[in-house]
Every structure is written in structure tokens, then in C-alpha cells.
Structure 1
Amino acid sequence: MRPITFLVAITTVALILSTTGASFDRWEPIKNLKDEHIKEIAEFAVQYNNLISIRSLQLVKVQKGKIQQVAGKNYLLIVAAVTPEEGHMVHLYETLVHESISNAKELILFRPFRGSTPTIKN
């Protein structure tokens, strides 16, 4: 391939990617927080946290969320959970879960939520 042809091909690909709004590596809001897969991710985060902490939380619902396309997907979720030992008092938690291309999940962050918006922004 001649250098000019290669340059034209690279420029064309870059132009197509910039005009299609490719959102790789950007945080996008999750439109359907009741989606079964989103619930599965939230449940994984709560259950895994229960394994490594002294609390036994139960997921109530996903309050807010963002997703990031990387090598797999990152899910930043604000979840509502109850603790039966505290009289079913609802608390909000911020959680970050990475799901690999092979669907393996890893809990990156799980902490009490102390704000009005997720801490990771676009």
C-alpha cells in the first residue's frame, strides 16, 4: 500500500469514528435501571461486599447509574440497600463493578454514598 493511500484510509477511519459518536471510554447514563443485567450487577456488588464485611446488606433497588465501555464494561451504581440488623433502615452506597469481556465481575469500590451525583464524571 502506498503511503498516501494508507494516510487516506487512516483519516477516513478517524473521521467515521468521530462522527458516529463512539462512546468508548466515556461514562454514559444507564437509561433502564430496572434492566435485569443492571440488577444482577448491583446484586453482585452487594453480595460480594457482604462476603468481605461484617454487615449483611440486602439490595432494595438501583437509584442511579453510569456505564463505561472499556475492555469490558464498568458500572458505577448508586444502590439502596437495607440492613435487617438495623431495623431495615435504607442506606445508599456507591459501587463500581468491572465486568470483563468474558463476563467475569470484579468489585472495585463499595462505600457509603455521600453526595448527590456519582463521583466519577465524564
Structure 2
Amino acid sequence: MKKIAIFVEGQTELELTCRLILEIAGRRGVTLEIKDQHRGSLRFIEMRGNIQAGQAPEIYVLLVNCNTDNQVKSQIRDQHASLTANGYTKIIGLRDVLNRPGFPRHFPSSGNSVSQTPLAIAA
């Protein structure tokens, strides 16, 4: 069984990540354990995906909602030793990038978008 831990910034990222993993996996062989971070401790919320009693999933994903951007890195750092000791081979952090220095918002009318040329639609 492959074990992956993903720490996200908030509820939107949590739902996006859950849906993405389940869609890619086709709900076969993937179990998601969802936890919530509150005042530094993790509490169990729910299990999703392919949950069968007595049968280990092919991929087990621990998904933690850190509830704030600055807790993603802190939680990864705090949980790293425990996660690796428990067999997690990948630890991923997902944070917001908008409104950070070096990551401006890109709107077509702002002048800072990747391309100012509208895409042609094939007929």
C-alpha cells in the first residue's frame, strides 16, 4: 500500500483535492482519511473513497485541512517524523498563491497577464 499525506490551506482546496484524487483513481483502490487542524492538533473528520473492511487500499491518502495558509508548512514540519515513521512516502503541501509577492493576479485587462491576444476559436 502506498501512503501519501497532503496538507491543504482551506476547505476549497480540500474539496478540490478530494475530487481530483477520486476522479483520477476512478474510486478504485483509494481511501481518503480527512482530518482538520485546530490549534496545532489534528482531529478526524471522515473517510472517503474505496473503504472495505479487512482489505487494505492500494493507495491511502491522509488529507489535512490546515484552515490557514501559514499552518501548511508548520503542520508538515511538525508531522514529518511521525508520517515517515508510519510509512508515508510522499508529503505534499498546497497553499494559496494569490496576493503573495511574486505571484500577481492575472486578469486580461490588468496588463500583467500571460497573453493579451484573444484566442481564436476554430470554426
TM-score by length of 2: 0.23
Bigger relative CO (Cα 8 Å, ≥ 6 apart): 2
Q: Which has the larger radius of gyration?
A: 1
TM-score by length of 1: 0.23
Which structure's residues are more often strand, by fraction? 1
